Structure 1
Amino acid sequence: MAYIRPLANGNFRADVRLKGIVKNKTFPTESLAQAWADNIENGIKTILNLDQAQLMALSEDEICALGGEGLFKQLGIDLFAIRHQAKLEAINALSKKELLQLSVQEIERMGGAELFIKAGKRIRYKTFRDVCDEYLSRWGKKDYQGQMQRVDYWCQFFGDRIMTDIDIFDIREHIDDLIDEGQRATTINRKKAVLSSVYKFALSRGYVDENLVRSVVVDDDTKRRDRVLSEAERKRLLKASRESHWDKLYLLVLMAMTTGARKGELMNLRWNDVNFKDSSAFLGDTKNGTSRELYLAPVVMTELKRHQEVGTGLIFPSVELPEQPMDFRKAWRNVLKAANIADRDILNPDGSVKLEKFTFHCLRHGFCSALSDSGKEINQIAKLAGHKSIQTTMRYIHQGRDQKRQIVNELAQAFNL
């Protein structure tokens, strides 16, 4: 059953209780609350009426439209197991001896380590953290504590991942994030060298087939990105974000575009950080250790009110773990694809970059560049972006050829030339 009730602040709260599922959300209007509740109810009823063949045939978009994989799990439907039924049957047919004799390649061919774990089968596999522990236990050089800290840095990102499930795109994506943050190439290469050392050890022990890290090159020319969206790209990105299966991606993109806030700052914002009276948000824990205020445009406030909730919860929470920020990487990749914006560098035959990839951090770059293009002073841009150093701001600002030509022409006119 769905219940809609008015709140003291003028909003409406929708509560859905059906088949053991309890969901609730706050909306600025009763009609929005009712539409959301109806959609959840219809999704639950539809899911429960699907047979095995229909469940197997569902596309990712259809799953998202019905409420997402999390809703299926709450209803006791394991889509993962259903989709891999044939492979699970093959795994279950193996004896204990056969399972332990499987090579890494055979495990991957049969569906990967995750599928074996799902079937409750014991195989020889190693997580990244397992390999790192073994690597450190055999560390015979000086500065053990320092190396342990350097290895732990990578464990924060890959620790619980199966070693063979980490691919070059995972490594490249993290390196790109470091580049986009403005870290120097020498700093990134030092971090990369530690990861490469771990992979070299894993290769010697037969845990991986190659050292993927060696294929990821960081040059001084790539230590920062100048990628900004054209007007047409910006419109396509906003349209695709509005149509995303994650209903808050449009809000997140709007906030990033118009505030220049970092991804981590936005993802850790809570509802009690937002001041709806003066259209602002308070950032209490930023990357450079200082607090600052975000000024929110009317379009952002409209979208915030559409999702508004009461309390101290995250604005962008994970569906399954509400106290953790949403992992929106898949939604972001889908939106870039829908907007026809490259999510990977497109290279020329000589290896140079023909079309640079667009990352979420590039929205921050676009914010600073747009302020610069509109004539704002660099100290103003630095304050709005939360930069401690003007030099940091300078990395985000560039001028196109037309602007440079205009500056030169204006100078010539000032000289009466």
Structure 2
Amino acid sequence: MATITKRDDNVSTRRWQARVRRKGFPVQTKAFASRAEAEAWGRALEALYDLGHAVDTRDAREITVRDVLARYLADVVPGLKGHETETYRCKVWMRHPLAEYAMANLTRQALTDYRDTRLLTVTGSTVRHEMLLLARAIEYGRKELGIYLAENPLRSVRLPKENAARERRLLPGEEERLLAACRGSGAPYLEHLVVVAVETGMRQSEILGLRWDRISFEKRVAVLGDTKNGEARAVPLTHRAAAAMQAMRTVRELNWHRKREYTDTGPFSKLNSTVVRHSFMRTRDRAGMPDLRFHDLRHEATSRLFEKGLNTMEVSAITGHKTLTMLRRYAHLSMDHLLMKLG
């Protein structure tokens, strides 16, 4: 039988303490608001002991969600492809009041309330990615840190749907306006970065990771060794893309060669993705297209490849899309092009 004692505690949620002792098992204690709850917990734990299961829930009662997120951030995130985004989301979670919960107290209702409140200010995709990150961190705590939870509470919470696929393409004249704004932005690399994105369909991270020793200007091909899906691929370069990369030699020489830490390993090496993102956002705002995102340039490039007559396999080989579903999400052919083909 569990030993039930009344505590001299002013906190109403822990006035009754249950203690279960059984030879061959760890001593377990837990506080409750009522004697009935304490007795029910004791009976349930003894039933597990009768089956031969030793379940030590002390870690789950003492370790907070913030503690687990901190371990996940330190141990797992640095090895992920999208570690910058994952780091940002982890830190957002760690500042939230929900992170103060002990792991054992993280309920479905608390998570549902978080979802519904968060959806008032951000999109469904944002909330979905945040909750999936928390689910990964909790699973890491269960499997790697040995924290006992009967199940991951996120499994019983309905996640918001992904946002509808974006269909933003460059309108007539927008590319010229954007490039003109890039030239006047004070960021000497930005015009060439945009040109490479529109001409090749590479992701921003892939462009920033380009290396001179993996680019053949004679064959007009760039080999990407570190891609989002983990597979290397070769990207053919148009004359315009190759010229933009070559122009970066002069840009780097004029602007960065005096810096002590300067190393010219690639056209856009040592450029910080956060700096690039903010520079692009300021420039596109000045160009009068505040709804344009850098990733939309990949949409544009993919659609242009189809409009040039390339088939699905050829486009996939260039862009690195793994499935037809993903490729269809990015390829938005212009109505004028479709009408020309239909006659």
> In which range does the TM-score fall when normalised by the shorter chain?
0.5 to 0.7
The answer to whether the 8 A contact 2:304-2:333 is kept is no
Per-residue deviation at 1:277? Answer: 2.4
Amino acid at match of 2:326: T
Partner of 1:391: 325
Per-residue deviation at 1:305? Answer: 2.4
Query: Which of the residues 240, 260, 263 maps onto 2:201?
Result: 260
Amino acid at match of 1:316: F
Q: Deviations over 1:69-120 (max 9, x none)?
A: xxxxxxxxxxxxxxxxxxxxxxxxxxxxxxxxxxxxxxxxxxxxxxxxxxxx
Residues 138 and 359 of structure 1: CA distance in aligned 2, closer, same or farther (over 3 Å): same
The answer to whether the 8 A contact 1:241-1:249 is kept is yes
The answer to whether the aligner puts 1:333 opposite 2:281 as a matched pair is yes
Q: Please, what is the CA RMSD of the aligned residues?
A: 4.2
In the aligned structure 2, how far is the partner of 1:228 from the partner of 1:136?
Answer: 51
Per-residue deviation at 1:327? Answer: 2.4
Q: Deviations over 1:165-198 (max 9, x none)?
A: xxxxxx99xx88x96xxxxx89536337779x9x
Query: Which of the residues 237, 245, 251 maps onto 1:296?
Result: 237
The answer to whether the 8 A contact 1:244-1:335 is kept is yes
Q: What SS is found at the alignment partner of 1:272?
A: helix
Per-residue deviation at 1:218? Answer: 6.0
The answer to whether the 8 A contact 2:196-2:245 is kept is no
In the aligned structure 2, how far is the partner of 1:218 from the partner of 1:245?
Answer: 40
Per-residue deviation at 1:247? Answer: 0.6
Q: Deviations over 1:8-65 (max 9, x none)?
A: xxxxxxxxxxxxxxxxxxxxxxxxxxxxxxxxxxxxxxxxxxxxxxxxxxxxxxxxxx
Per-residue deviation at 1:271? Answer: 2.3
Per-residue deviation at 1:396? Answer: 1.2
The answer to whether the 8 A contact 2:303-2:331 is kept is yes
Partner of 1:228: 169
In the aligned structure 2, how far is the partner of 1:295 from the partner of 1:136?
Answer: 55
Compute the TM-score of the two structures, normalised by the length of structure 1: 0.44
In the aligned structure 1, how far is the partner of 2:325 from the partner of 2:318?
Answer: 15
Query: Which of the residues 174, 192, 197 maps onto 1:251?
Result: 192
The answer to whether the 8 A contact 2:224-2:233 is kept is yes
The answer to whether the 8 A contact 2:73-2:90 is kept is no
Residues 285 and 136 of structure 1: CA distance in aligned 2, closer, same or farther (over 3 Å): farther
Per-residue deviation at 1:384? Answer: 1.1
Partner of 2:64: 138
- Identity rate, percent: 23
Q: What SS is found at the alignment partner of 2:222?
A: strand
Per-residue deviation at 1:261? Answer: 0.4
Following superposition of structure 1 onto structure 2, how do residues 202-221 of structure 1 map, counting pairs within 5 Å?
Answer: 219-220=161-162
In the aligned structure 1, how far is the partner of 2:296 from the partner of 2:318?
Answer: 16
Query: Which of the residues 264, 286, 289 maps onto 2:227?
Result: 286
The answer to whether the 8 A contact 2:226-2:232 is kept is yes
In the aligned structure 2, how far is the partner of 1:155 from the partner of 1:281?
Answer: 28
Compute the TM-score of the two structures, normalised by the length of structure 2: 0.52
Residues 136 and 156 of structure 1: CA distance in aligned 2, closer, same or farther (over 3 Å): farther
In the alignment of these two chains, the number of paired residues is 219
Following superposition of structure 1 onto structure 2, how do residues 354-369 of structure 1 map, counting pairs within 5 Å?
Answer: 357-369=291-303
The answer to whether the aligner puts 1:156 opposite 2:87 as a matched pair is yes
In the aligned structure 1, how far is the partner of 2:336 from the partner of 2:318?
Answer: 26
In the aligned structure 2, how far is the partner of 1:136 from the partner of 1:376?
Answer: 58
Bigger radius of gyration: 2
Residues 187 and 334 of structure 1: CA distance in aligned 2, closer, same or farther (over 3 Å): closer
Runs of 5+ consecutive residues of structure 2 not aligned to the other structure: 1-60, 78-84, 97-117, 139-158, 254-262
Following superposition of structure 1 onto structure 2, how do residues 161-176 of structure 1 map, counting pairs within 5 Å?
Answer: none
Partner of 1:313: 265
Q: Deviations over 1:361-399 (max 9, x none)?
A: 110100111122333212211111112222221111234
Per-residue deviation at 1:150? Answer: 8.3
The answer to whether the 8 A contact 1:284-1:292 is kept is yes
Q: Deviations over 1:283-332 (max 9, x none)?
A: 0111112111122222232232233279762432447xxxx667212211
In the aligned structure 2, how far is the partner of 1:255 from the partner of 1:139?
Answer: 42
